A and B are shown apart, each in its own frame.
Chain A
Amino acid sequence: MTRAIGAVLLCVAAGLAQAQAAPEALDWLRKIHQATEKLSYTGIFVYQQAGRTETSRISRLADADGGVEKLEVLDGPPREILRTRDEIRCYLPERQIVKVDRRRNQRDFPALLPEQVNALAEHYSITKHDVQRIAGYDCQVLVLAPRDNLRYGYQLWADLRTGMLLKARAFDANGQTVEQFTFTQLEIGSVPRERLRPLRAARNWRVEQAGVAPADLARSGWKVSPHLPGFRKIVEIRRMLSDTQPVGQVVYSDGLAAVSVFIEPIAGRTETARLGLASMGAVNVYTREVADHLVTVVGETPAASVQRIGDTVEYHRPQ
């Protein structure tokens, strides 16, 4: 009983907590966002999750066409991701595959817009902290503490001068780190263009196009109700995941964390599905079966949130 009251109080408290954030903390988020769009840089970062670390190089060349960015994983097999304004190419040497995701317009890649930064304060308490040094850069520390347990919290370290993010930590309701990105070395400024070329000759590799097209899942009889405060639908599409069959994808976002719901017929799958919960750092994946279809929810949210969205998926044969 006492625990129930505690839980209710906590719920009410979280619901009624007033949206407030220091304006300068919000300005910092805008500055960080601008840095990812305007700067050229190259550096080495370490990705940590579940006691594992992996080192990668990231390079970005800002230009009038929206820039080119490349991520190279330096440990293990040399995987690469190359992104331009309207295309993402993922090179997987072990599978000899290039996965290509092309978009028709910039709007298809949702960015954190200035007005959304203000809306973030509804669900996160955003505060500015001290200055700490990361990889030789003096960084402003910011904390985005979630106002409920539906999302993770974030601690960010941004370069005082440029706003470039040098370190980012996602933490759960217990304050435990679920994943962390840390630059160990970074050069901001001019980057030679050859740095941005794909290194491997992938001419004979299989190319898998995502073939993204708008879709209306409700018309096919699917109902997805996120029931998570602050999460709104940002896109609803049909796409290819591999070379087998089209998959429906609906994406919800609270402005910072996003959750995708994938729906596909089980009949056409080549690999047996594993039903249940899996995770990769701050991303949780929940898989269940609904009406001979596989429903896979992928989200940068706690496991309970992806499960909650996944459990609302229903199918009713269209009349």
Chain B
Amino acid sequence: MKSQISALMDGELDAHELHEPLAALRDDEGARESWRTYHLISDALQGRALLSADCLHRVVARLAQEPILVAPHPSAVRPPERAPWFVPSALAAGVAAVALVGWLAFAPQQGAGPGPTPLAQAPAAPTIEAAKAPASVPLTTASRDYLLAHQAFSSRNSLLGLAPYVRSVSDDAAARKP
């Protein structure tokens, strides 16, 4: 069934083959879970924002709690603004508070922080946010010593053998002559 769902997602099924997977998606939670997982993987591979994991249930549950506004009144019925500090704690109430606050504190850093930077890239100009987003610096020859020392403990060796070690000796010349 999973292969059929995958094929359905990829648009590879003919009209007469649709009935079975669609029925499974209607009746079988396992099939729906596969459908969501495949979309998650597809999103990850194609660079779309990862929102497909288990968000569906949460969004549906939250929507169910929302009051239904038949006719929206722009400003008159808007609830009073909450103080900003209240927002995270209120949201955290229903879920694991510690993990949540930790994650929220972490999120802006990730957004502001530089992605993987190419070796030869010049160090980033200092900015006001320097405390949150550390400077991008080139790898030095000494950094290779860290990479080599780290590599021995990488579990990826279990899949790739010696190949990942290439990082610790890679581009030596480029590291010295940026």
Interface residues of A (CB under 8 A from B): 1, 4-18, 20, 22, 29, 32-33, 36, 45, 47, 49-52, 54, 56, 58, 60, 69-71, 73, 76-77, 79, 81, 83, 88, 90, 92, 94-95, 99, 101, 103, 109-112, 116, 125, 127, 143, 145-147, 149, 153, 155-156, 165, 168, 171-176, 178, 181, 210, 227, 229, 234-235, 239, 241-242, 247, 249, 251, 253, 255-258, 260, 262, 271, 274-288, 296, 298-300, 302-304, 307-308
Q: Are A280 and B167 neighbours in the complex by a CB distance under 8 Å?
A: yes
> With a CB–CB cut-off of 8 A, which chain A residues contact B159?
29, 32-33, 36, 112, 156, 165, 168
Cα A4 to Cα B44 in complex, Å, equals 21
Q: List 14 A-B contacts (CB under 8 A).
A: A10-B51, A15-B96, A88-B152, A94-B172, A175-B48, A178-B116, A227-B102, A258-B153, A271-B142, A275-B134, A278-B117, A296-B146, A303-B113, A308-B106
Q: Are A257 and B155 neighbours in the complex by a CB distance under 8 Å?
A: yes
User: Can you add 20 more A-B contacts, CB < 8 Å, to A8-B91, A281-B116?
Assistant: A7-B107, A11-B100, A20-B37, A36-B160, A45-B163, A54-B171, A71-B165, A101-B152, A111-B157, A111-B158, A156-B159, A171-B44, A173-B50, A175-B45, A235-B153, A258-B153, A276-B136, A277-B113, A281-B167, A284-B116
Cα A67 to Cα B110 in complex, Å, equals 42
The stretch of B19-27, B53-61, B67-75 in contact with A is B53-61
Q: Which of the residues A12, A156, A298 comes within 8 Å of B58, measured between beta carbons?
A: A12
Q: Are A54 and B170 neighbours in the complex by a CB distance under 8 Å?
A: yes
Cα A92 to Cα B172 in complex, Å, equals 9
